[in-house]
Amino acid sequence: MSEPDPTTPAVTTAKGPMSKADRAALPPQAPAPAICLVKPQMGENIGAAARAMANFGLDELILVAPRDGWPNKKAYALSSGAHWPLDRARVVETADEAVAGKTLVVATTGTPRDLIKPLIGPREAVALLKGAIAAGERPVVLFGTERTGLDNELIVAADVLVTYPVDGRFPSLNLAQSVAVFCYEWASHREAAGPPPGWVVPDHAPAPRAAFESLFGHLVEELEATRFFWPDDRRDSMIATLRTALTRARLSMAEVSLIRGALKSLVGGPRRRATAADEDVARAALAPWLAARGLELVWLSCLGLDGVLLVRGPDGAVQAGRFTLSPGTDTRDVVSVTFADS
């Protein structure tokens, strides 16, 4: 199998992008039907169809009388690195040659046909093809030319007809799109088996409840410190909303630790700003109140309405005390000042 073009997007796993060696080591997909393009006109459509085949694990491509000859540079360009279906493509002159070695022929059509023949959708067709492959058959799926689809002769000779559930007002699909839809349907059963080969999805074990409660308590404490819960009568409902949202996330232990670290990083700035604002308001209220009593404000520290201070008296002695201010937005009144020796 040819290696994918290095310009294609990297497959990413929990351990990082896969290397070429990682890709080469992936197990092959299960056997799949051949895809046969009958008289395709544009190399671009052949390349896009090959890319869809490679995406979903199909690699046997048969080309019947491609209009622009083979090989085709435009096909390789549009395959975006999915070279192996093109490298291995079998080119024949007639559809009879294409199906000669096959035991089950499925023809796709978007045009109603007046035929007594099984007509099924792509999902049912996939189930039929899987059963046939399991029984040792060699199936092929035919796709017609871009302009007119498959000839009546091929429709008549097919074992089964497949049509897509398209809107009847515009049932015509681009050739490469039609191949892509079928290839996706072929691979869709693998969803039940989990992620594609090479992917590692770590278990997301929720953090112990005690760790979550510790984080949430930290969050509420820091929000209280920055006066986030305002007005006061909405505090409880805001906390309940935060708890509901974070509980729903079912954070892992690693996520709890990360968010706690983020909180510690954030609170430095906002908390310092909130503290500075509180102290400015307190200083504006306390300095004239103390001066009127012959005291000089030396230092204070507060958060909200309560704090501690140092004052200097007329004799130069420094006293420590506590203070309480009245609620207010920009200005506050002094409610009380008490000193350690009072």
148-200 pLDDT tens trace: 889 989 999 999 999 999 988 888 889 999 999 999 999 987 776 666 666 66
Residue 238 pLDDT > 80, yes or no?
yes
CA 19/CA 186 separation, integer angstroms: 26
pTM of the model: 0.59
Q: First CA to last CA across the chain, in angstroms?
A: 91
Of 330, 325, 286, 321, nearest in space to 303 by CA: 325
79-122 pLDDT tens trace: 998 899 999 999 999 999 999 999 999 999 887 667 778 889 99
User: Which residue ranges form the domains of the chain, and what is each CATH number?
Assistant: 12-20+27-193 (3.40.1280.10), 209-339 (no CATH)
Of all helices (H) and strands (E), which one includes residue 218? helix 209-225
Transcribe 272-300 into DSSP letters: HHHHHHHHHHHHHHHHHHHHTTT-EEEEE
Predicted pLDDT at 200: 66
CA 39/CA 57 separation, integer angstroms: 23
